[in-house]
Amino acid sequence: MRLDKNRIAELNKAHLPQHKEDAGRLIEKLYNKGIDADSVINKLIKFQIAIPSWALGTGGTRFGRFSGPGEPTSLESKIEDVGLLHALNQSSGAISLHIPWDVPSDVDAICSLAKEMDVKFDAVNSNTFQDQKGQALSYKYGSLMHVNKEVRDQAIAHNIEVINHGTNLGAKALTVWLADGTCFPGQANFRKSFENTLDSLKQIYAELPADWNLLVEYKPYEPNFYSMAIPDWGTSHMMAQELGDKALSLVDLGHHLPNTNIEQIVAILMMRSKLGGFHFNDSKYGDDDVTSGSLKPYQLFLIFNELVDGMDNTDNPDLSWMIDASHNLKDPMEDLLQAVEAIMIAYAQALIVDRKALADAQEANDIARAQEILQDAYRTDVRVIVAEARIKGGAAWSPLETYRQLDIRKALVDERGKYTLATGL
């Protein structure tokens, strides 16, 4: 399915008079505060958040999965779904593939489809958290950290294969997230697990093309409940540091214990030019519970406040931004539109922080003033400038409303059938 830009513009029309009035008011208010709204809007237009292929189907829990109608079952249809999202919001111009779920059968055809949909290939993801059909050795007791060298070698070969698939598609990074770990005290030797994992990563790193990055993701628990091979940012950073310049840490919002100060982690990693990517989701209790920004929008803003500061004031390389969530109730497309919107709002709020005033307040130990400066930005309703950026980019005033007005899910069901099942968890 393809969206007609003229149709989007037509649907925007009804909203434009009120929108222009609201946008003008906010732009003037920002101008009076010394903030150049045009530069904020241009940054918003440029900002692209990759959509992971596994988020386009309805997610499940270990108790079951209630699939939605018209889910994408092929790599082609997943790229088309991301293309639809991107047409609606102009902020989702990249897809992150997962191997082996998304092995392309015809690379040229996939590349030209992606080009037609204006979608780029973001970081590729390996999978050693499941056994695949016909696989020689099992990952039940780990992959890159496994006590058996043959299992490690198999997992290393898989990661190299993922790099090769990514190279064919024009991707520039490999994300390694390991489910490796232990469920019981005494199950493994922590030092040996660390050393095996690092040694395996070194062998993968050696195969990275010159212009690629290796993103090392961490997670404190799940699926293993006693220890994880790479549990936290310290371990990830230690490994990235030892691997070399092309290895960077990847922060996933949901991969922290409750109340962890994620914004501080982001700030410190960027200071060391070692933050490579960011995965968005939100949670009340565990990983990926809910849609980005639906529970803790202030935390998301505080994180963006550090990301923006880091992008302006450190030598940290450009980041890979990706939504990493898969929910089990909503229409995945609607969920992703809401997530991207929440991320753009947090980014816009961070862009309007008066950084000079904040630095002055910090130097003067004026805590109350510093808090006021941050909260003034956070409490500004920036939705209208996010919409302005979208309209300027040729996208929908309200992506979610337009998605419903155009009855896109129905069109997808008509095209693909009602009972389809996307690959994923």
* Chain residues that interact with Mn ion, rule: CB under 5 A: 252, 279, 324
Question: Could you tell me the smallest distance in angstroms from the CB atom of residue 20 to Mn ion?
Answer: 39
Select 227 or 236, whichever has its Cβ closest to Mn ion: 236
On whether the CB atoms of residues 51 and 94 are closer than 8 A, the answer is: yes
CB of 276: closest distance to Mn ion in angstroms?
A: 12
The residue among 279 and 390 lying less far from Mn ion, judged by its C-beta, is 279
The C-alpha angle with vertex 154 and arms to 150 and 156, in degrees rounded to 5, equals 115
> Residue 122 or 252: which CB sits closer to Mn ion?
252
- The least distance separating Mn ion from the CB of residue 95, rounded to whole angstroms, comes to 15
Name the CA radius of gyration of the chain, rounded: 22
Tokens of 204: 């993968």
Residue 291 or 402 with smaller CB distance to Mn ion: 291
C-beta of 177 vs 378, nearer to Mn ion:
177
Long-range contacts of 238-245 (CB under 8 A, 24+ apart): 239/197, 239/198, 239/201, 240/214, 240/216, 240/274, 240/276, 241/274, 242/198, 242/202, 243/198, 243/201, 243/202, 243/205, 243/214, 243/216, 244/205
121 strand-pairing partners: 95
Give min distance, CB of 294 to Mn ion, in A: 17
For residues 231 and 242, what is the distance between their CA atoms, to the nearest angstrom? Answer: 17
User: Residue 98 CB, nearest distance to Mn ion (Å)?
Assistant: 11
Q: Strands 94-96 and 120-121: what pairing?
A: parallel
Give the Cα separation of 112 and 104 in Å (integer).
12
Report how far apart, in Å, the C-alpha atoms of 343 and of each of 8, 44, 175, 221, 415 are: 22, 10, 21, 25, 31
CB of 217 to Mn ion, least distance (A): 6
Q: Which CB atom, from 256 or from 279, has the smaller least distance to Mn ion?
A: 279
